[in-house]
Chain A
């Protein structure tokens, strides 16, 4: 495959810096980029001359997600299987990164959403900064937190993962560090110095790398006064509930006691999201908590294929129309209410597809994994 300019690579002795280079689209991942990333990550794993991989984005975003409008286009032109193909490549890459044997440092400047989180959060070091904005906004789009999010969101403190995954709440750098999505916080002005230092150190030893990042880090970035991270108790109380309906009614009870902007925003975002998406997302995160990263991605692949096929709900297409194409921000979900989405319907998203050409996600074979990757299996 001809090298694409959508992914640039900088070589400096044993360090490779991968730059997502589609700044006009906020580095949204195209199929081309995903293929290229898979190719270089495979290559570097085998290459003894490569010790460390740095990943960053060109322009003001790290990566705004998978290029879903392209996926929708493909599906509209051809078959849902083109969409399935995109996600199978993307999820296989996510798995590869989650079980990567060499350290990956992601410099998360600006927006990190959806697929952008998928190519960074699974890696060993996630460096956030002053202008980082993280979100898994899929439920508003008729999708669900994918790219292995059911693995990493479910492992956040308490039920913060359910909160982030269902509401699409935006987290800043300090919040990401506090909840564990990020490993380090480095002030914006020091980010390029850090990059230089990492290249200069030319080491693949996680301890050395960690020491270098620590030198540039702000260990205790201040959470903003109204940070949602101060609401953990309420979040745990409400988002630990068994069903989406119960979560909403628990939030409404909290609101009766003490209404404020945050709680009304939280309730609103759940009411605006696709009911089907909310239900499958909650179940996905709950199942993910008891599974390894490979099982999570395999399950998410079944789910995403069911979404793409659009047999039970076409919310994803409606969400993309309302938010990405027509931009009227007024999606008409179907089923329109939570109570209309039955357990049986939810079950369908978690079952193998009855299609003779369809297969479960094929995870790349791994061996000789480092212990931190083994523990994710």
Chain B
């Protein structure tokens, strides 16, 4: 298929034959229409599945899925099986196929109850058995697979599950010690205890250290007393708190003998077994949201709530019965970091779920664009498939390639997390911050493009692409506002750089080793073939990171030389910091991509992977203003890049269907417009 030409040459020959037959029939029936009348479209449109008209996959789609989902494929597919087979997941037949999706037309309260019933069902099937006992990297990967696969069905389900197991369960696992594990693991796994995680307050979100809830110790009774001293200290957005949770982890300042020891975590019961709110607790609803209404977010106030001393999660610090504060880590900054570090798992799942949602959106929009036509280019010719328009290719195909690149990066992060060591925690933190931000932004941008690419159909809730935007919007800000995260990355890079300089040693870690080598040289005149070499792609991403890091170092040191405080310096240098954050992320993504590519033997799969890699890098060069802003690309070279994007789109076009099929999202999780949308909308189906 020659898809570089804008003519409808890629429509299947069968379509032409059909169309011709219909034209001839009308002719014989003496029912002609003027040949020049483009507005008069002729015979009824038939749905033709892309599988029949598109070229067969040039590579093994199963192998590509394996690169995406790796050893988790069976875990993921098992959960898909469980969901597809239960009426609780609202199966609906549309156009001869069964789709499952929550009924978003239900009230908020109904949606919340359905989320809980779906969790109960999965629990009854034994889906969570072994949550706390499965150990090692395999255990972590299994937990991730479970959380990710339920999110493909519904973000609320994933979040509700994630709050209970990753946040509540994770806090007990990582911040607690044996006495907490013995007491809480089992009832948590069986949902006798429903947990939530009370960290955010009305007045403090990303800045956890600023929270205002206060806990004091009463040595006479051996109890802690938790208080919400003011309205801005109310716990806010607490998932599970509004309806279902029986227990919570409370984050609070710990005040011992009048000295504030910083933020600590405690276990508190908030409801009894019958669901009644406990004394000294007040709970209110956060109300209806733009999405995620299947999660019961609530607000909590504590009024002199007394909890036993043992309820302090004491992995880092403890209070003795007589009220002495004990901690092995003296520096409160380090204590706080050590305390929160294990909770990175949240960002890992957010990043991975963002990729799954992106895959759902792209699979739907691309499948639709391979069956929906608009406008004839020549009279009496069939209308042109949406994806045969170069402009439509430009809208969707770069996002497709980017999704592969970012998915590989998400896997890299996952593996880095499951193999973490005390030494690597800092790296995990930086990489997870970077990828959480970049992947969730990509997800939202892709969904918006998919929604527009599907036209009016994108507005229908049943077609997902539009609706998912509101369901997933939250990911841009929870577990760290993306913009704040990007600035944090730059701070971390700066610290690494300065530390290496101080030690007078080469810089190591975070993929920054390229800074030790001389700066690469970018050719003055770029050509199509240069643009596709890994050498050039790596060089230009590295030079951008190197230059921006140097600029950032210079900028920061200038402010500090003027006597500005560190804090103030960072608030005013945010522009360079964000550019640097992106440069770091893009270079990291390219590096992980190259690592994946290197594991594949030469052949059709490797070719398509390298095509997508070139698409990924070229589109970054085309879209990120920093390349022109700081002069890594001349305007002439930027023009070459732009041309190359067009070329890459047409080369990727024949692979579009097989690339979205390789995502491995079962049909039931896609939407009616991804399949026979004519039948799905027929009068007979009304």
Verify that A and B bind, or say they do not. Answer: yes
Interface positions of A (Cβ within 8 A of B): 155, 157-159, 236-237, 240-242, 246, 286-287, 289-290, 292, 366-369, 371-372, 374-375, 377
B77 touches A286 (CB 8 A): yes
Our pick among A159, A286, A375 for the contact of B675 (Cβ within 8 Å) is: A375
B97 touches A375 (CB 8 A): yes
Rounded to whole Å, the gap between the CB of A176 and the closest CB of chain B is 19
Residues of B within 8 A of A246 (CB): 126
B80 touches A290 (CB 8 A): yes
Can you give 24 contacting A-B residue pairs, CB < 8 Å? A155-B98, A159-B85, A240-B81, A246-B126, A286-B77, A286-B78, A289-B85, A290-B80, A292-B667, A367-B14, A368-B18, A371-B47, A371-B96, A371-B678, A371-B679, A372-B96, A374-B47, A374-B96, A375-B95, A375-B96, A375-B675, A375-B676, A377-B49, A377-B52
Per the bound structure, the CA–CA distance linking A326 and B265 in Å amounts to: 71
Residues of B within 8 A of A241 (CB): 125-126
Residues of A within 8 A of B77 (CB): 286-287, 290
B84 within 8 A of A: yes
Other contacts beyond A289-B666, A367-B14, A371-B96: 15, CB < 8 A: A155-B98, A158-B86, A289-B85, A290-B81, A292-B667, A368-B18, A369-B49, A371-B47, A371-B676, A374-B96, A374-B675, A374-B676, A375-B95, A375-B97, A375-B676
With A286-B77, A368-B14 already in contact, the answer to whether A240 and B52 are too (CB < 8 A) is no
Give the 3 A-B residue pairs with the shortest CB-CB distance, closest first.
Answer: A375-B96, A290-B666, A371-B679
Residues of B within 8 A of A157 (CB): 85
B82 within 8 A of A: yes
The winner among B14, B49, B84, B678 for most chain A CB atoms within 10 A is B49
Residues of B within 8 A of A292 (CB): 667
Rounded to whole Å, the gap between the CB of B666 and the closest CB of chain A is 4
B564 within 8 A of A: no
Our pick among A158, A237, A367, A377 for the contact of B85 (Cβ within 8 Å) is: A158
The winner among A287, A366, A377 for most chain B CB atoms within 10 A is A377
Residues of A within 8 A of B109 (CB): none
Residues of A within 8 A of B664 (CB): 290
Rounded to whole Å, the gap between the CB of A236 and the closest CB of chain B is 8
Per the bound structure, the CA–CA distance linking A158 and B91 in Å amounts to: 12
Rounded to whole Å, the gap between the CB of B407 and the closest CB of chain A is 19
B78 touches A242 (CB 8 A): yes
Per the bound structure, the CA–CA distance linking A32 and B246 in Å amounts to: 68
Per the bound structure, the CA–CA distance linking A307 and B78 in Å amounts to: 24
B81 touches A377 (CB 8 A): no
- B12-26 contact mask (Cβ, 8 Å, vs A): 1 or 0: 001000100000000
B272 within 8 A of A: no
- B452-495 contact mask (Cβ, 8 Å, vs A): 1 or 0: 00000000000000000000000000000000000000000000
Per the bound structure, the CA–CA distance linking A372 and B47 in Å amounts to: 12
Rounded to whole Å, the gap between the CB of B616 and the closest CB of chain A is 28
Closest-by-CB residue of B relative to A299 is B62
With A241-B126, A287-B77, A290-B80 already in contact, the answer to whether A367 and B52 are too (CB < 8 A) is yes
Residues of A within 8 A of B47 (CB): 371, 374
Residues of A within 8 A of B124 (CB): 237
Per the bound structure, the CA–CA distance linking A289 and B14 in Å amounts to: 30
8 Å CB contacts to A: which residues of B43-87?
47, 49, 51-52, 77-78, 80-82, 84-86
Rounded to whole Å, the gap between the CB of A20 and the closest CB of chain B is 29
Rounded to whole Å, the gap between the CB of B370 and the closest CB of chain A is 13
Rounded to whole Å, the gap between the CB of B150 and the closest CB of chain A is 15
Residues of B within 8 A of A366 (CB): 52
Per the bound structure, the CA–CA distance linking A290 and B669 in Å amounts to: 10
Rounded to whole Å, the gap between the CB of A45 and the closest CB of chain B is 15
Per the bound structure, the CA–CA distance linking A242 and B142 in Å amounts to: 13
Rounded to whole Å, the gap between the CB of B128 and the closest CB of chain A is 12
Per the bound structure, the CA–CA distance linking A366 and B77 in Å amounts to: 28
Residues of A within 8 A of B82 (CB): 240
Rounded to whole Å, the gap between the CB of A235 and the closest CB of chain B is 11
Rounded to whole Å, the gap between the CB of A93 and the closest CB of chain B is 20
Rounded to whole Å, the gap between the CB of A284 and the closest CB of chain B is 12
With A159-B85, A374-B47 already in contact, the answer to whether A369 and B666 are too (CB < 8 A) is no
Per the bound structure, the CA–CA distance linking A237 and B85 in Å amounts to: 12
Residues of A within 8 A of B96 (CB): 371-372, 374-375
Residues of A within 8 A of B84 (CB): 289-290
Residues of B within 8 A of A374 (CB): 47, 49, 96, 675-676
Closest-by-CB residue of B relative to A157 is B85
Closest-by-CB residue of A relative to B86 is A158
Residues of A within 8 A of B86 (CB): 158
Residues of B within 8 A of A375 (CB): 95-97, 675-676
Per the bound structure, the CA–CA distance linking A375 and B98 in Å amounts to: 9
Per the bound structure, the CA–CA distance linking A71 and B594 in Å amounts to: 49
A289 touches B81 (CB 8 A): yes
Rounded to whole Å, the gap between the CB of A156 and the closest CB of chain B is 9
Residues of A within 8 A of B14 (CB): 367-368
Per the bound structure, the CA–CA distance linking A236 and B84 in Å amounts to: 13
Rounded to whole Å, the gap between the CB of B148 and the closest CB of chain A is 15
The winner among A157, A236, A371 for most chain B CB atoms within 10 A is A371
Residues of B within 8 A of A236 (CB): 85
8 Å CB contacts to A: which residues of B635-677?
664, 666-668, 675-676
Per the bound structure, the CA–CA distance linking A237 and B127 in Å amounts to: 12
B85 touches A240 (CB 8 A): yes
Per the bound structure, the CA–CA distance linking A286 and B124 in Å amounts to: 19
Residues of A within 8 A of B668 (CB): 290
Per the bound structure, the CA–CA distance linking A375 and B677 in Å amounts to: 11
The winner among A286, A369, A374 for most chain B CB atoms within 10 A is A374
Residues of B within 8 A of A368 (CB): 14, 18
Residues of B within 8 A of A372 (CB): 96
Our pick among B49, B81, B95 for the contact of A286 (Cβ within 8 Å) is: B81
Closest-by-CB residue of B relative to A250 is B126
With A242-B78, A289-B84, A366-B52 already in contact, the answer to whether A371 and B95 are too (CB < 8 A) is yes
Residues of A within 8 A of B98 (CB): 155
Residues of A within 8 A of B18 (CB): 368
Rounded to whole Å, the gap between the CB of A65 and the closest CB of chain B is 27
Residues of B within 8 A of A286 (CB): 77-78, 81
Residues of A within 8 A of B679 (CB): 371
Per the bound structure, the CA–CA distance linking A157 and B98 in Å amounts to: 12
B676 touches A240 (CB 8 A): no
Closest-by-CB residue of B relative to A373 is B96
Per the bound structure, the CA–CA distance linking A366 and B53 in Å amounts to: 10
Rounded to whole Å, the gap between the CB of A115 and the closest CB of chain B is 26
Per the bound structure, the CA–CA distance linking A168 and B408 in Å amounts to: 42
Rounded to whole Å, the gap between the CB of A309 and the closest CB of chain B is 21
Residues of A within 8 A of B125 (CB): 237, 240-241
Per the bound structure, the CA–CA distance linking A164 and B676 in Å amounts to: 30
- B577-597 contact mask (Cβ, 8 Å, vs A): 1 or 0: 000000000000000000000
Our pick among A242, A290, A369, A377 for the contact of B126 (Cβ within 8 Å) is: A242
With A237-B124, A241-B126 already in contact, the answer to whether A369 and B52 are too (CB < 8 A) is yes
Per the bound structure, the CA–CA distance linking A246 and B126 in Å amounts to: 10
Rounded to whole Å, the gap between the CB of A280 and the closest CB of chain B is 14
Rounded to whole Å, the gap between the CB of B97 and the closest CB of chain A is 5
Residues of B within 8 A of A240 (CB): 81-82, 85, 125
Rounded to whole Å, the gap between the CB of B663 and the closest CB of chain A is 12
Per the bound structure, the CA–CA distance linking A290 and B78 in Å amounts to: 10
Per the bound structure, the CA–CA distance linking A366 and B678 in Å amounts to: 19
Residues of B within 8 A of A371 (CB): 47, 95-96, 676, 678-679
Our pick among A158, A159, A290, A377 for the contact of B51 (Cβ within 8 Å) is: A377
Per the bound structure, the CA–CA distance linking A375 and B668 in Å amounts to: 11
Per the bound structure, the CA–CA distance linking A375 and B14 in Å amounts to: 19
Residues of A within 8 A of B126 (CB): 241-242, 246
Closest-by-CB residue of B relative to A243 is B78
8 Å CB contacts to A: which residues of B530-586?
none
